Structure 1
Amino acid sequence: MKLNKIIEGCDVQSLIGGTEADVTNISNDSRRIKEGGLFVAVTGFELDGHKFIPGAVANGAKAVVLEDPAAVLKGHADVAWILVRDSREELARIAANFYGHPTEKMTLAGVTGTNGKTSTVFLIQNILKHAGRKTGLIGTIENRIGDRVVATERTTPEADELQALFARMLSEGVDSVVMEVSSHALDLHRVDHCKFHVGVYTNLTLDHLDYHETMENYRDAKAKLFERCQAAVVNMDDPQGGFMLQKAAGKKKLTYGIGREDVDLSAKNLRERLDGVHFTLTHEGREWEAYMQTPGKFSVYNGLAAIGCTLALGIPMEIALQALATESRIRGRFEAFPSPTGYVAIVDYAHAPDGLQNVLQAIREMSEKRVITVFGCGGDRDKSKRPVMGRIAGEMSDYCIITSDNPRTESPERIITDVEVGMQKTGCAYERITDRKAAIHKALSMGEKGDVVLIAGKGHEDYQVLGKEKIHFDDAEVVLEFFKEVRK
């Protein structure tokens, strides 16, 4: 594609060189640039892309988009230098142009919120598959093109990676894509120039203040999704639901909630067990009996969000309910493992205060005896939630073990101490075990018939980040290996 077509619509401040060159590839990572490529120098939080311009040119870049005119290399007349105000913002436009705006040729649904994004995205995909759609999925656990898994590192990929993934999906016959849309992605322009048909809002609770600084900034970032959607599906039980609804620019708006009559989709008569939840669904004056394989009030909210999204996409209610009843289990989300001795271990991704509270509330409503909770908090992330999570775990558990999550470059002991501040206010019996595997083993060894052991924080993750190193670690594997030894 010609360079002038790729930068069409960009806010170009100045240009050195011609724009008739054929561009073969684009990236903001100099290591991925090949002969004939276009490199976008983005100023990041840890690294400045302008420092990698020489490497990109050495790899064959014939065009560079940049913000700092001082970074233009002398002696490279064969390279086009395109100065812009915000290279991160222009990366999204350039990527959409380069890949031919693929989302304009598919149906795209985006799900945003603090909790429930991953589960809701998987539920929506399953409903779409039941309806005969060829689906794509972009999420925390994995990306999928049809049934093929594609590796993922972020909740939402960078703009160039995202548009490339959309283009691959389109080329393989995908007609409907559902994706998690993080607040970071919205704020950092990663999803600019994506045509969203439906936006889904789950909830907003304490998280990511290390980046957004205030809950208002966090809320406003989430709301950007609804300013660009044709239809909005909003949880009105959440205090920010009304705000999101006001921000929705599309004509179609569907609301949902539990036990209320002033919404489009409402659930009532919830009956919960460890193997799932039954409830009565009301919509447009009709009632349906619904079942989901994952228990908990939070699961019902996820189900309502998925139903609302697929209704907005024209999928009949009957197909949505059939899909929820048969395919609503998700790896690392309230994943239950019955022990050989009669208790149940649950692995869940809950890593924020609201998520932990929701999971523990569901367990409390179903457990026959004790609730034993193993959890920690991530390092180099929002520190304000640590004592809050300690308090929640202490108030809702009979025994807690505070351990490491992904400490990253922080001291694991320091993180545990921060969590301990909240725990100590509850009077709950607890202990500190820094080694996560040892902590899980201790909790499992304590379990007795009728107990529930919750292992929270990592869910589907198969790694642990210690310092700058990522090691293999899977909570579910640890549980299954422990049970295997018990059976011997």
Structure 2
Amino acid sequence: MLLSKLMAGLEYEVVSGAKDREVTGVCDDSRFVTKDNVFVCIDGTVTDGHQYAADAIEKGCNSLIVQKSLHLSVPSTVTVIKTSDTRKALANAACIFYDKPFEKFKLAGITGTKGKTTIVYMLRYIFEAARVRYGIIGTISNIVNHVVRKTGRTTPESLQLQKTFYEMADEDTQYVAMEVSSQGLMLHRVYGTLFDIGVYNNISRAHIGPKEHESFEDYLANKIKLFSICKEGLINVDDAHAQDVISGATCKIYTYGINHKADFFADGITKFYDKVEFDFNTPTYKKRMTVNMPGKYNVYNGLAAAATAYLWGFDPEFIAKGLAEVSVPGRTEKLDLPLDCTVMIDYAHSPDSLLNLLSELKELVPGRLVCLFGCGGDRDRTMRPMMGEIAGTHADFTVITSDNPRTEKPENIINDIEEGMLKTKGKYIKITDRTEAIKYALESALPNDLIVLAGKGHEDYIESNGKKYHYDEREIVRELLKI
């Protein structure tokens, strides 16, 4: 493919060489460059791809795309193109190189602080109920034609994303649901992609910091970007910032909700310990739905998935079957254990998600609600006392422990959490080692207690001092119980 074709639609200058050079592939990692590739230099948060241009040339690339000057002598046989944003250039080139594969199936993009993974999994189960060929992309895994692949981030880098789309199209995939993070939007990972449906579920204070968003306003603005690159938008009208999203959208908008007038709405909500039921009201029918997960927030998640499936013309029986059978790793996941108490694993790792989880479960648990959690290091410190206060208010007992301390001392993070806990009358204990904390929670449990291990969810690692160590809470619990 001609290099100039990969740059179509972008502003750029040819620093040296010919822009009509034939390239065999697109690469952004010098370790994987092959002969006659174009190497795109990404100035990342950890490393700068411009520093690896010489390596890429040595491995046979015939062209470079840069956004700043190179401090090396480039051979006359190598073309250098300069543009203002190489992340955008990479996404653009990936879309064109793989021939816009997203146009070959129906694509839904889900954004929101909470619920992205659950909504995608709900759609997965609806797809399976309808026996259609599908793919999913998200935090837990990517699935291409029933083949599960581990994933490194919520929204893949643009080159990997388009390659995955290409593989899905090659497998005659009909429907794809993917999580679209604010980081993915900010860093142009989905630039050039056109979604059939974009879903906005909610937003709360999260992902704000030196390596994420500079402010809440920036966080929201990046969420809204999704609705300039989709054909139809589906907005949770009950969210406090729904009107900001609707005002910023350029696509046709549908709404869903519980408390405000919406195109798709739920009423007749009945909560249970392990599920929730509601009437799904659409423009053409009303149907009783059961979601195989507890909590009002899963009514919103269920509405989002069901409304997306409705807009795509899925039979209501398939929608109902999918929601009734859905199971999501690390999302209100109950462990099958020989105990007279219940142990649940959940990914709640922000103030809003912890509040939603604990307040909903508190209404339904027959015994004590015991919450074990920590906060991540190198993230928004203001959330720590907030989460401590939430746990102290809603749990009967709290075990404060460590959770991905990264470069911080776990004890310092725990002390920050304790500041909020001390504002309540909640009972608690501090145990830095997470395994010891889980052991304590299990050994001190009473009959009918619900022990919630919050924060890790689907994660199977702990991140500390620049390294990730294997850590799966399911395995830890079973090892402690010797089963």
TMscore range, shorter length:
over 0.9
| Structure-2 residue corresponding to 1:86 | 85
Any residues of structure 2 matched to 1:31-430 within 5 Å, and which? 31-71=31-71, 73-210=72-209, 211-251=212-252, 253-260=253-260, 262-284=261-283, 286-325=285-324, 327-337=325-335, 339-430=337-428
Partner letter of residue 290 of structure 2?
Y
2:34, 2:60 within 8 Å by CA — same for their partners in 1? yes
RMSD across aligned C-alpha pairs, in angstroms?
1.5
Partner letter of residue 201 of structure 1?
Y
**Residue deviations 1:58-90 (CA, integer Å, cap 9, x gap):** 12111100011244x325111110011111111
CA distance in 2, matches of 1:75, 1:40: 15
Following TM superposition, by how much is the alpha carbon of 1:484 offset from its aligned partner in structure 2, in angstroms?
Answer: 4.0
CA distance in 2, matches of 1:451, 1:338: 15
Change (3 A) 1:281 1:75: closer
SS of the residue 2:113 aligns to: coil
SS of the residue 1:209 aligns to: coil
| Structure-1 residue corresponding to 2:467 | 469
**Residue deviations 1:139-175 (CA, integer Å, cap 9, x gap):** 0000110210122101111111111111111112112
Partner letter of residue 57 of structure 1?
I
SS of the residue 2:109 aligns to: strand
| Structure-1 residue corresponding to 2:8 | 8
2:90, 2:158 within 8 Å by CA — same for their partners in 1? yes
| Structure-1 residue corresponding to 2:478 | 480
Following TM superposition, by how much is the alpha carbon of 1:338 offset from its aligned partner in structure 2, in angstroms?
Answer: 5.2
CA distance in 1, matches of 2:335, 2:93: 47
1:389, 1:419 within 8 Å by CA — same for their partners in 2? yes
Partner letter of residue 271 of structure 1?
T
Greater CA drift, 208-217 or 348-357: 208-217
CA distance in 1, matches of 2:86, 2:32: 17
> Structure 2 regions of 5+ residues with no counterpart?
none
1:14, 1:84 within 8 Å by CA — same for their partners in 2? no
SS of the residue 2:177 aligns to: strand
- Runs of 4+ aligned structure 1 residues displaced above 6 Å come to none
SS of the residue 1:470 aligns to: strand
| Structure-2 residue corresponding to 1:17 | 17
**Residue deviations 1:307-341 (CA, integer Å, cap 9, x gap):** 1111122223232112111x211111000125433
Partner letter of residue 464 of structure 1?
I
Is 1:27 matched with 2:27? yes
2:123, 2:322 within 8 Å by CA — same for their partners in 1? no
Change (3 A) 1:385 1:179: same
State the TM-score, normalized to the length of structure 1: 0.95
Following TM superposition, by how much is the alpha carbon of 1:18 offset from its aligned partner in structure 2, in angstroms?
Answer: 1.4
Partner letter of residue 420 of structure 1?
E
Is 1:439 matched with 2:440? no
1:259, 1:268 within 8 Å by CA — same for their partners in 2? no
SS of the residue 1:51 aligns to: helix
2:107, 2:177 within 8 Å by CA — same for their partners in 1? yes
**Residue deviations 1:210-246 (CA, integer Å, cap 9, x gap):** 1212211111110000122111111111101122222
CA distance in 2, matches of 1:181, 1:401: 33
2:50, 2:70 within 8 Å by CA — same for their partners in 1? no
Following TM superposition, by how much is the alpha carbon of 1:374 offset from its aligned partner in structure 2, in angstroms?
Answer: 0.5
2:238, 2:259 within 8 Å by CA — same for their partners in 1? no
1:276, 1:292 within 8 Å by CA — same for their partners in 2? yes
2:121, 2:327 within 8 Å by CA — same for their partners in 1? no
2:268, 2:278 within 8 Å by CA — same for their partners in 1? yes
Partner letter of residue 192 of structure 2?
H
Partner letter of residue 77 of structure 2?
D
SS of the residue 1:430 aligns to: strand
Partner letter of residue 305 of structure 1?
A
Following TM superposition, by how much is the alpha carbon of 1:37 offset from its aligned partner in structure 2, in angstroms?
Answer: 1.2
Partner letter of residue 277 of structure 2?
H
CA distance in 2, matches of 1:83, 1:287: 55
Partner letter of residue 406 of structure 2?
R
Change (3 A) 1:445 1:53: same
State the TM-score, normalized to the length of structure 2: 0.96
CA distance in 2, matches of 1:316, 1:339: 37
Following TM superposition, by how much is the alpha carbon of 1:282 offset from its aligned partner in structure 2, in angstroms?
Answer: 2.0
1:386, 1:419 within 8 Å by CA — same for their partners in 2? yes
**Residue deviations 1:397-445 (CA, integer Å, cap 9, x gap):** 1111111111111111111111111111112111111111111111111
Following TM superposition, by how much is the alpha carbon of 1:285 offset from its aligned partner in structure 2, in angstroms?
Answer: 6.7
Partner letter of residue 37 of structure 2?
G
Following TM superposition, by how much is the alpha carbon of 1:185 offset from its aligned partner in structure 2, in angstroms?
Answer: 0.6
Partner letter of residue 271 of structure 2?
E
SS of the residue 2:13 aligns to: strand
Partner letter of residue 90 of structure 1?
A
1:254, 1:308 within 8 Å by CA — same for their partners in 2? no
Following TM superposition, by how much is the alpha carbon of 1:132 offset from its aligned partner in structure 2, in angstroms?
Answer: 3.2
SS of the residue 1:394 aligns to: helix
CA distance in 2, matches of 1:469, 1:236: 41
Q: 1:454 aligns with which of 447, 452, 455?
A: 452
**Residue deviations 1:18-63 (CA, integer Å, cap 9, x gap):** 1333322212211121121111111112222111111111121111
CA distance in 1, matches of 2:56, 2:363: 57
Greater CA drift, 37-46 or 110-119: 37-46
CA distance in 1, matches of 2:272, 2:340: 16
> Structure 1 regions of 5+ residues with no counterpart?
none
CA distance in 1, matches of 2:231, 2:365: 43
CA distance in 2, matches of 1:229, 1:437: 44
2:98, 2:162 within 8 Å by CA — same for their partners in 1? yes
SS of the residue 1:190 aligns to: coil
Partner letter of residue 25 of structure 2?
N
1:41, 1:87 within 8 Å by CA — same for their partners in 2? yes
CA distance in 2, matches of 1:338, 1:18: 63
